[in-house]
Structure 1
Amino acid sequence: MRQAVVVIHGIGEQRPMDTLRGFVEAMVPADTPEGTPTYWSKPDRLSRNFDLRVLKSRGRNTTDFYEYYWAHKMQGTKVGHLLSWLWDLFKRPRRDIPQAIVPIWRATRWTLLALVLLVASGTLATIYGRFNHDANPFALIPLLLAGVGIALKFSALSYLGDAARYLSSNPQNVVIREQIRADGVELLRGLHQQGYDRIIVVGHSLGSVIAYDIVGYLWYEHYDQLSNVTPANQALVERYANHEKLQPVVQDTLPKAGRSLDGRLQNTLKFREQQSEAFLEQRALGNPWRITDLVTIGSPMAHASLLLGRSVSDFKQRIARCEAPACPPTLDEKGYGYNAQSPVILGQKPFTPLYLHHAAAFAVTRWTNLYFPAPFGLFGDIVGGPVMPVMGAGVLDLPVSVGKWKGFLAKSWLSHTHYWSERGGKRGYLDGLTLDDSAIVNGERPSATEALRWAVDLRGGRRFRPVGAREALAESEA
């Protein structure tokens, strides 16, 4: 069993491999009790960046960890890029602002309004001689504005500048956005060509938006590829002759599980099971898609209607028009897909394949989202949040915690960079698919690192083997 994990870093002055090494040390113990390393490093042949390496785990199930590094493409960001983006967000009406960040949005508006009034009143008072120039209390305002400008240039620009350029479709940002997406798709395409049985994509912060984009773009190359559905496939001919359904999951059970989604965790887990079955069904019919999981961490996708759309209604329309892949996918003619134009003759009977549509990546790819809750938009990770209310009830949102500094870290803005900082935790809490409503709603939140291990699920790759390989493995173990 070969599986690959792709880690996509977030905003800031990131260095190659820093994010990946920290992530792998959280997923895989650094050394065995005997002192033998549990993973090693080898050159990354899929990247043109010589600083990048592949971290390869030891053991029965081989896992290769890749980093998609994009920070170097964001050079040259100017204050104008940031201010243009912030102004676009600032002028949005209240109805288009996600509830989680309303306090920050209001505070920013009132602060800016007070600053404008202060500058205007001070200017007018000076002009009309109310204050002497040598004893003017408003004379410090230029210094205050200069301080704000310095903070924007050397602090906010290093972090928010990345978001401003990637999330804004202004003409000056188009080239960078396309380079980042194209290279990300190229990496995922290369991993498919390497013959991995399973691929997991993990995105942190802005990297989660990039992950969402490239998964959706790559799916467009795979959604209608069912290469095993041919008259020469005797196994399919025999099954069809015996009146067996060739696509029972994507035709029946998956859409049924999608219709049952109502925000309850039990139904979400059932839908995820059907997503895994749909993945295996598509693979058996010859679809080359190998991405089983998207894991987003501290993701601004929680505010997708603000960041990726012009308004809440505009973003909903994009989902309805299949421009933005949702989870569960937007309904089409036949559940999440449509019938092929031409049938295939299997034996003596025609069979019309069902294709999942071009925005139905999350029919076969599970989406797990981890976040530190931020009550009132102040006490926690204000960048991330629950994604399910925006992107669909099929997303599994997991609120997490961290025990550092007696739990205060989880309630601060610093929590955004501590999703895999702890190596301990309650391992039994997330072993297997044992989560229930009471454990999430009423119980203690899981450790962020342990929740991440559960979401990536390195030990669960065996269920995604081809059917024949899984049966042979079961016989050998018996």
Structure 2
Amino acid sequence: MARFPTGRTAFVVIHGIGEQNPFDTLDGFGRGLLELFDRQGINYRLAHKLKRHPGEGWTESFLRVSPKTRGKSAIDIHEVYWAYLTENQISTAEISRWLEDTLAGVKTFFNENQQLIREYEQADQVEQLQKLNNKLRWGARLYPPVSAALQLLDPLSRLTGGWGEAALKWLGDKASPYLTGYLGDVAIYTTTDRKSKFFNLRQRILRDSLAMLKTVLADPEIDRVVLCGHSLGSVIAYDTLNRLQIEASLPDAEELPLDKIKGLITFGSPLDKIAFFFRQHAGKEQWLRGQILGQLHSFKSKPLCFNDPPVTLDDPVKHVFADLPWVNYWDRQDPVSGRLNLYRIDPEDNVELKLGKPWGVAHVAYWEHVPMYADFAGRFLGMG
């Protein structure tokens, strides 16, 4: 029989795209971890705990798992819930324009960065990105007809005696969650244009994630913190650590026990695709802008530009997480995920899973895959 992990650990978990309810993340991650404990014969107690966040003005619910025999060891599970911020915030027309702009930007980026293509070609990343690019183009072609069909709902209903309304309502009910819920979340969070109305939403999501992490770090009873992100949540997790690294570099930096952060876990992560498709990129001649952008997104990242600048800028960022352990889980049947080749992750830490689910469905299957929990429990909880 295995023993309960010693010490006080906090997992901060960030959910991904699509329709999400409060505590879905706590439930999914918690049940997965407890299934591992059950299989290993670990006896435990469960508690629903409350914590006041004075600075944010709200009360958080989180889970605590502790040994059945009591004692000081415990595992806290916190969720960063952000879905309510993006719900009904973007229209179908805005998503359509975003798709068109994204595809145009991707074409330009690929055309101007052939050396980058060659550099990462051996990692099959380019082929994956080009396949995704083709799928997005098909989606862009399909999107306007679907949107137009939905706009014809009322007149078509009058002409067909009502069956048209039922058919198109069914189409709208099926299509809308995917178009506005999934693509909409990506469109909002990947906005880098400060003039966009979505930029403030992105900043709010990142601000909430950072506030949660800081609150957990400030708890004197916590020994170690592990940040986890699924799908788009992995991008938010990455950006949170990147932002924390920048804040730690300021002259008046807040005193935080950053050494408590012991790892980053990503699963179903599109971080490579986000870097190619949605990150800000500098033009060929913009060697100053390129260096600034690179330094502002430097948490364990590899260069996205291979042009030697005339003058190298001094880097103001303290790379406090340069050696932070990072494990990434992916599955070949999950089109969103993949090896993260654009980041400094050891090959053995890009872990390919066999989720046993069909193409696409695999993206939501990580939560119930006990071998994933067993792997990161061995890495971060000392459970061999």
What's the TM-score, normalizing by structure 2? 0.69
Return the match for 2:73 from 51, 56, 61. Answer: 61
1:371–1:384: 8 Å Cα contact kept in structure 2?
yes
**How many angstroms apart in 2 are the aligned matches of 1:318 and 1:152?**
41
Return the match for 1:391 from 333, 343, 346. Answer: 343
2:192–2:280: 8 Å Cα contact kept in structure 1?
no
- Which residues in structure 2 correspond to 1:409-420 (within 5 Å)? 409=357, 411-420=358-367
The aligned counterpart of 2:128 is: 100
**How many angstroms apart in 1 are the aligned matches of 2:188 and 2:9?**
33
1:40 to 2:74 alignment? no
Report deviation, 1:319.
8.0
Report deviation, 1:145.
11
2:191–2:198: 8 Å Cα contact kept in structure 1?
yes
**How many angstroms apart in 2 are the aligned matches of 1:450 and 1:33?**
10
Report deviation, 1:103.
2.2
**How many angstroms apart in 1 are the aligned matches of 2:41 and 2:143?**
63
The aligned counterpart of 2:217 is: 192
Unmatched tracts of structure 1, length 5 or more: 117-143, 228-282, 331-355, 374-379, 424-446, 461-478
**How many angstroms apart in 2 are the aligned matches of 1:35 and 1:452?**
16
1:17 to 2:1 alignment? no
**How many angstroms apart in 1 are the aligned matches of 2:136 and 2:302?**
36
**How many angstroms apart in 2 are the aligned matches of 1:208 and 1:179?**
16
Aligned AA (1:325): S
Report deviation, 1:35.
11
1:326–1:359: 8 Å Cα contact kept in structure 2?
no
**How many angstroms apart in 1 are the aligned matches of 2:85 and 2:197?**
14
The aligned counterpart of 2:296 is: 323
Aligned AA (2:107): P
Unmatched tracts of structure 2, length 5 or more: 1-6, 112-124, 145-166, 304-314
Aligned AA (1:102): Q
| 1:419-459 residue CA offsets vs partner (Å, 9 max, x unmatched) | 13134xxxxxxxxxxxxxxxxxxxxxxx434334345x223
Aligned AA (1:209): V
**How many angstroms apart in 1 are the aligned matches of 2:139 and 2:64?**
50
- Which residues in structure 2 correspond to 1:67-82 (within 5 Å)? 67-77=79-89, 78-82=91-95
Return the match for 1:155 from 178, 192, 195. Answer: 178
**How many angstroms apart in 1 are the aligned matches of 2:361 and 2:369?**
14
2:14–2:233: 8 Å Cα contact kept in structure 1?
yes
Return the match for 1:367 from 326, 331, 336. Answer: 326
Identical columns (%): 25
2:23–2:79: 8 Å Cα contact kept in structure 1?
yes
- Which residues in structure 2 correspond to 1:78-477 (within 5 Å)? 78-91=91-104, 92-93=106-107, 95=110, 98-109=126-137, 152-170=175-193, 171-195=196-220, 196-223=222-249, 288-310=258-280, 317=290, 321-327=294-300, 358=317, 360-373=319-332, 380-387=333-340, 389-394=341-346, 396-402=349-355, 407=356, 409=357, 411-423=358-370, 447-455=371-379, 457-459=380-382
Report deviation, 1:107.
4.8
**How many angstroms apart in 1 are the aligned matches of 2:330 and 2:57?**
33
Moved more, 103-112 or 393-402: 103-112
Classify the secondary structure of the residue corresponding to 2:27.
Answer: helix
Higher RCO, Cα 8 Å, sep 6+: 2
Report deviation, 1:198.
1.3
Moved more, 311-320 or 293-302: 311-320
Classify the secondary structure of the residue corresponding to 1:58.
Answer: strand
| 1:53-74 residue CA offsets vs partner (Å, 9 max, x unmatched) | 2211213532211111111111
1:328–1:362: 8 Å Cα contact kept in structure 2?
no
Report deviation, 1:23.
0.7
**How many angstroms apart in 2 are the aligned matches of 1:288 and 1:113?**
47
1:10–1:203: 8 Å Cα contact kept in structure 2?
yes
**How many angstroms apart in 2 are the aligned matches of 1:107 and 1:416?**
17
